[in-house]
Amino acid sequence: MTQGETTLVVENTAIAPVVGPEIANGHLVIEGDRITAVGGGPAPAVPAHARRIDGTGCLATPGLVNTHHHLYQWASQGLAQEATLFEWLVTLYPIWARMDAEIVRGAAGAALAWLAKSGCTTASDHHYIFPRGRGDLFAAEIDAARTVGLRFHPCRGSMDRGRSDGGLPPDEVVESLDDILAETEKAIDAYHDPAPGSMLRVAVAPCSPFSVSTELLTRSAELARDRGVRLHTHLAETLDEEEHCLEQFGVTPVEYLDRLGWLGPDVWLAHAIHLHDADVARLGETGTGVAHCPSSNARLGAGIARVCDLLRAGVPVGLGVDGAASGEMTPLAGEVRMAMLMQRARYGPGALTARQALELGTLGGARCLGRQDEIGSLEVGKLADVALWRIDGFHAAIDDPVCALVYGRTPPLARLLVGGATVVEDDELRTASQDTLGAAGAQAHRRLMRGVR
């Protein structure tokens, strides 16, 4: 893959830039890894050597941003199919305890290829299980992201509160506080790139209030702020979690995090479903982001997040497919649609427009990851992370291109660019063999499940 060495021109395409007016027929010019022009009609004078993409029949949008995932879960899909979150976790923890670096590499490659094929250009991941002596699991997922070619925000997750300490996970899948802090620092030193245009940024991400100690939350926040990286965790996913927090700490999950100094513009929280009005207001006041994962939340019967209320309160809201074990084969573009439909199911047909849903999947996600100045919209000076959707063919019976993208089945991708480099073309992954990655994902599943069933 050449990272945008030449000038690239996309012409004759509809453009939904997310920021600024939509364009019925226009152009994008990309030089290196940046957008240098966006506008109506043909491109202005460009060098003769420029590569040209004819976008006839297409809609260009910013590449989608995935704000919450567990890539390793590609290897444990289809299990505990009718379980609540806590039942599902109790079933899956012992299976995940068998994971090694090879399983993570296979699962992550398949999951990231699947994301790319659904329009994702930036993916975050939350990896929180590190069984001892099984190789470098964090390095394995980073290797997979480099292979697929996506911008990557891996979160070094952790759990230190096993069953013997009143937590939910079995003791064999938790680490000691000292090991977690040391390994997290090592991951930041080895991989975090704060430079503009970065392809990889590391975040610090203790798993959830019911699987980590108060001290781990506090020390993680200190570490993240000391190193200038972001903080992530699961929060308020189920009422069981709220009961746990009320019982153990005497406060709601949001109040618990607030008490620990965990709310702020450098933090984004997965799910945030069961919120009181005061919690919503507090997330807004502090600029704390939310990763909304509608399919996973529906699959586990966890509930429907108050996305409309969160947006009204000024909370940055992005979308996430969540791990494939609770959102089997969820495509990210499908989450844009699902977010819109679920808000309407709860609040009525005017609750969330197609354009608002697209904004959640792009600029909202970029805000969660602290990248809103670089990605999430098609504007001059931003990184050339672009999805070019094919809205001719069956989709051409809808006149509004954004409606054609969001309302129905996701259209095929004519092109997916990350920093100007082609990752998907004609709906096929181009950076690596999607057949090979798919087979490696299935092999990871077989290896993980060997002897379990």
Measured from the CB atom, is 270 or 423 closer to Zn ion?
A: 270
Where does 118-176 have alpha helices with state H? 137-148
> Hey, what are 95's tokens?
């299976």
Work out the widest C-alpha separation in the chain, in whole angstroms. 68
Nearer to Zn ion, 161 or 395 (CB): 161
259-288: contacts with Zn ion (CB under 5 A): 270
Residue nearest to Zn ion (CB): 322
Measured CA to CA, the distance from residue 138 to residue 203 in angstroms comes to 12
Which is nearer to Zn ion, 1 or 239 (by Cβ)?
239
The span from the CA of 155 to the CA of 157, in Å, is 6
Residue 207 CB, shortest distance to Zn ion, in Å, is 9
Does residue 257 contact residue 239 with C-beta atoms inside 8 Å? no
Residue closer to Zn ion, measured from CB, 322 or 385: 322
Shortest distance in whole angstroms from residue 301 CB to Zn ion: 15
SS3 category, 158: strand
**Smallest distance, Å, CB 248 to Zn ion?**
21
β-pair partners for 15: 23, 60
Sign of CA dihedral 352, 341, 264, 258: positive
- Least gap, CB of 336 to Zn ion (angstroms): 19
Helix (H) or strand (E) holding 111: helix 101-117
Binding-site string for Zn ion from residue 310 to residue 339, where x marks contact by CB under 5 A and - marks none: ------------x-----------------
Contact, 411 vs 120, CB < 8 A?
Answer: no
Least distance between Zn ion and beta carbon 448 (Å): 18
Q: Minimal distance in Å, beta carbon 174 to Zn ion?
A: 17
- Smaller CB distance to Zn ion: residue 39 or 303? 303
First to last CA, the chain: 41
Closer CB to Zn ion, 92 or 406, in the complex: 92
Give contact residues for Zn ion (rule: CB under 5 A). Answer: 270, 322
